[in-house]
Amino acid sequence: MAEQVSQWRKTFWKSLRSTFPVILFFLTTFLSVYFLFGIHYAMMVSIITVFFKTRYKKNDNTLIRYIRLILVGSLLVVLAYVSSWSLWMCVLLNITVPFCLVFTQSTQFKPKGYFSYAMIFVFLSLIPPDNLAGLGQELTVFWFCVILLAVFIGGYYRFFARTSTQTLTLEYIFCEVSGMMFLLFQKGKQKELERRFQNLLHDFNQTSYHQNFFSTRTRENQIYDMVNTLLQRFSYLITDEEWRSEMDEEGILLLGRIATFLRETAERLDPPASDKQIKIAQMYLDRMVVPEGRIRIFCRSMLHMMILILKTRNRKKTPMERLHQVNWREIWQQIRMRFSLESFETRVAMRVSAVMTISCVVSYVLPVTHSYWIPLNAFLLVQPSCEESSYRMKTRPIGTLIGCCIEFLLHPFLPGIVGQLAFALVMISLMYCSTPGTWYHPIFSTCYALTLAGMVMNETTAITLRLLFLMAAVAIVFVVNRFFFPVRRDALFRYNIKALLRLNCSYWKIIEKGLKRDIDLSVSGEILTYFHMIYEECIGYLKKHPGLPTYEGLRVILLTLWHMFSELEQMHYLVSAGVIHPEERERIEDFIERMRKALYPKFDNKEVAALRRQVSYLEPEVNYVLNKYVLRAERLGRYRTCIPGNER
């Protein structure tokens, strides 16, 4: 028992130390708002604290981010006020605003990306101001809190932030790739090579994945897209053993020269040294004598991408780049990928919208004080994953009930307003030390909310309403989760398999457009990253469920899709390099269109077999890549019954 208490004490102090900046920010902001504007705006403090909690350890808190927060946040404050005008406005805005926020801010890799901004609209619509003057006051409080947010994050970053042990700089990435290239032709180093590369690729995907709406098209983003493409091309060489049959002494020497070139380039990224590296890369391209095959394609694409990276890095920023132009083509690509009744973003967006619309309508029509606790609890209960949402529907009532008991016992002994405020602030501080979603987290939030509510209403009434409104929220979320576009892990896995096939078709479309005009790398870069992150999700699910009846078939399907995407990426390089003969473009376009139809939504074995007989082009590298792709597609066809939607 004593050992358990000691362990609990260590855990508590560790949690307190890690969350102390968040607690300090909340207390400072709460007291500032309380003395300057009044207790009525305490809800704003909780909202801004979420932004602080998610941002203060990051090093990309630029002025642009704060301006965006002020502009978007102010719009959401106004929309929250407008939603209180009438029942119809309440319904309309609670359908559209949460949907748009989830759809544009979340992905299955960042499922709660919508949460901070959605809190502004949801929480402030629950206690709207009475008139335009009140709205102006609310906006003033919001701007004041954002200023405090910027000051605290700036102070923390200036005095307390620790630099990471290794940032993903160009120098580091080039040195890592160089080191791994030397491992390619060393016996017994395959496991070390795969481990190092998977760590690098995972970290880079998490860093460079900027698939959010209205992302700015900057030189830095362009370089990220190019490095992303370079890493993906290298990954295909690591994971495919077939190229080793092509390896000869000349191939080993060429890989060694490129590895040395990468290491030297890492030390010479600034002009004029980088200009010399560009000339060296071009010299390797002009003098390459390795025969046709995967090694030649890889080396040429690697050198070609290095030239693009160095030229882009050396290019001076234009006035248009300084204005951070929005990449509208990329936005359209994201909409096409997300807007589907099967997509994660659309399904979660519809569930959140449904929960908020129903709960807010119930709160709007109920002539009972504090009925806003229904949508507030519903918002916290509805989660991107139905399993997580179901778990919270069990833990939150337990914690709330315990919190109500504590409040009922302690509230009579709190000495006046000062004592009640002190108790509330202690409870909210303990809440920030707790893990969200656990049974004990709601204990402290309940005590905080009931203490503030007890200042304006009877304590027993507040406790009763808190429990009743929580049960109403649980019922609403349960019904929506059960019948309205549920997102369960098994269903998400089936969707992800189909998404990998659909991304193959999308990439073919990009290649087809590349036959007619140059394609921005940001478009193909996003699809590359999206494909590999979904692939990681699928592999992770399979590892956790080895007892699936179709386990072996699914494993082969995933590996085959990975290889097919590698051929697609190489085909994209060949098209970008202009190796397709003009007289053959029409035949290539016909091949692409037929292949896309053969892959998705229903896999067509006969059409794939017919396409294999069509692969006969003037350029040997094109024949090599397309033959590899079709052979893998035929292998995929042998397991078509394991692909969701192709069971029959």
pLDDT in tens, 565-583: 878 877 887 888 788 888 8
Give me the mean pLDDT over the 55-61 stretch. 79
Q: Looking at the structure, do residues 183 and 280 belong to the same domain, yes or no?
A: yes
Q: Looking at the structure, do residues 607 and 515 belong to the same domain, yes or no?
A: yes
Q: How confident is the model at residue 209 (pLDDT cuts 50, 70, 90)?
A: very low
pLDDT in tens, 487-514: 677 777 888 888 888 888 888 988 888 8
Q: Which of 10-14, 103-107, 165-169, 496-500 has the lowest mean pLDDT?
A: 165-169
pLDDT in tens, 433-473: 888 888 889 999 999 999 988 888 888 898 999 999 999 99
Give me the mean pLDDT over the 391-416 stretch. 91
Distance of CA 422 to the CA centre of its chain: 38
* Position 276, amino acid: K
Domain count, the chain: 3
Nearest to 535 by CA among 101, 301, 236: 236
The Cα–Cα gap between 239 and 247 comes to: 15
Q: What is the pLDDT, as a whole number, of residue 206?
A: 56
Q: What is the pLDDT, as a whole number, of residue 250?
A: 78
Q: Looking at the structure, do residues 600 and 548 belong to the same domain, yes or no?
A: yes
Residue found under tokens 């003009």: 582
Cβ–Cβ under 8 Å, residues 359 and 374: yes
Q: Which domain holds residue 197?
A: 170-209+216-322
Q: What is the pLDDT, as a whole number, of residue 316?
A: 67
Q: What is the pLDDT, as a whole number, of residue 400?
A: 93
Residue 42 domain-assigned?
A: no
pLDDT in tens, 234-267: 776 776 666 666 677 777 788 888 889 989 998 8
Nearest to 423 by CA among 395, 404, 447, 406: 447
pLDDT in tens, 258-302: 889 989 998 888 888 888 888 888 888 777 777 766 677 778 778
Q: What percent of the chain has pLDDT over 90?
A: 26
Residue 544 domain-assigned?
A: yes
Q: Structure pTM?
A: 0.72
Residue 464 domain-assigned?
A: yes
Q: What is the pLDDT, as a whole number, of residue 278?
A: 87
The Cα–Cα gap between 97 and 303 comes to: 46
Q: Looking at the structure, do residues 454 and 522 belong to the same domain, yes or no?
A: no
Q: Looking at the structure, do residues 220 and 295 belong to the same domain, yes or no?
A: yes
Rg for the chain (alpha carbons), in Å?
28
Q: Looking at the structure, do residues 272 and 220 belong to the same domain, yes or no?
A: yes
Contacts of 277 by beta carbon, 8 Å cutoff, 6+ apart: 261, 264, 265, 268, 306, 310
Q: Which of 17-26, 207-216, 363-372 has the lowest mean pLDDT?
A: 207-216
Q: What is the pLDDT, as a whole number, of residue 112?
A: 83
Contacts of 243 by beta carbon, 8 Å cutoff, 6+ apart: 237, 293, 294, 295, 298
pLDDT in tens, 121-178: 999 998 888 899 999 999 999 999 999 999 999 888 877 765 444 456 788 888 888 8
Cα atoms in the Cβ-side hemisphere of radius 13 Å centred on 545:
15
Domain termination residue (choose one: 257, 288, 322): 322
- H-type helices in 339-457, by residue range? 344-365, 373-381, 386-410, 416-433, 441-453
Q: What is the pLDDT, as a whole number, of residue 323?
A: 44
Domain termination residue (choose one: 487, 514, 543): 487
